[in-house]
Structure formats: structure tokens, C-alpha cells
Amino acid sequence: MLFFAFLVSIIPTSFAEEENETFLWIAAGANSDYFIHFQAQVRDADGSLVSVVETFNGEYLSDSSTELVYSQLPLDQVIEISTQKYEMKQLTQIEKDFSKKMPGDWQQQEFGYTAGAYNIGYEYDGLYTSVFHAYPPVFLVEDSDIVTIQWTIFKKI
């Protein structure tokens, strides 16, 4: 029986930097099939903006599972950049209650919690496989903060 679940997770930076001998990771950029933009907005309990972190630093798995996960994202629009057409898909995730997160998801620091790498992937037969990674600068949040994470993934068509 095939079980497919669309998952977004956070992985500690130390795991994200490990070499994966089974799969080939490709840097996501203007010259690749996929282009990733990652943004995280941190707001305090009152809703005031604390910080914004963005990056285009990401990679994707050179495997058919990448297209499988990408196809599950809702299509936002088709755009043209420098005569190249792209499908643009977006995903938004809300993170809060950091003291209740699993150890390793958000690293507890003296003054709050941090995370250094994010991924989108899928679960099949109880095994999680990442297909998109983003590596924003590490940022600090407090337990009462709310983090809105927005992925924008472009695919050449």
C-alpha cells in the first residue's frame, strides 16, 4: 500500500551538512531545473515583527521523488523571467510553542531556540525523505514567538 504524506520539517544544521551517499543533491539556482526562495518572519506574542530571514541558498534531490513532491504543491502561477517560463508554487508553514518541539527540531540556546536548515519531503513506509533543502542564516526565537515560513519554488517549463 502506498502512503504519501507531504511534510515540511526542520533539521539541525549538523545533519544537513552531512554527505548523502545514496542521493545526488543539486544546488537550486537560476541555471538549474528548480529555484528556491525561503523566507521566515518572526513575530512576538503581540504580533510585532521581530525579524525576517531570507535565502536563495537551497538544493534539491536529483531523483524522481522531487517531481512527485513538487507536483503535490498547489500551482500559484506561471511566470516569465528573462524569456524563461517557470511554474511558481508556494507553501506556508506556521511554527510556534518551541518548548514543545521535539529535541533536534529547534536547538535550545541560552536565550531561545534556533534552527539552521529546513526541508520539504515525503514519508513512505515510515521513512522520511527530504527533496528540497533551504539553508537560511540561523535565527533566534523565543518560546512565545510565531514563525511564518514561506517557501517559493520555481520550476523551469
Q: What whole-number distance in Å separates Cα of residue 33 and Cα of residue 31?
A: 7
What is the CB neighbour count within 10 angstroms for residue 40? 22
pLDDT single digits (tens) 144-154: 889 899 999 99
Q: What is the mean pLDDT of residues 25-35?
A: 89
pLDDT single digits (tens) 75-118: 889 999 888 899 999 999 888 876 665 444 555 555 556 666 78
Contact, 141 vs 114, CB < 8 A? yes
- Residue 155: is its pLDDT beyond 90? yes
pLDDT score for 111: 56
Tell me the domain boundaries of the chain.
Answer: 5-17+24-156
Work out the mean pLDDT of the chain and round it to a whole number. 78
Contact, 7 vs 122, CB < 8 A? yes
Contact, 84 vs 156, CB < 8 A? yes
More confident residue, 39 or 29: 39
Concatenating the DSSP letter of every residue in 20-39 gives -SSS-EEEESTTSSEEEEEE
Q: What is the mean pLDDT of residues 50-74?
A: 89
pLDDT score for 100: 64
pLDDT score for 113: 62
- The conformation of residue 45, written as its DSSP 8-state character, comes to T
CA geometry: angle 95, 33, 54, nearest 5 deg:
35
Percent of the chain surpassing pLDDT 70? 73
pLDDT score for 143: 80
Supply the pTM of this predicted model: 0.73
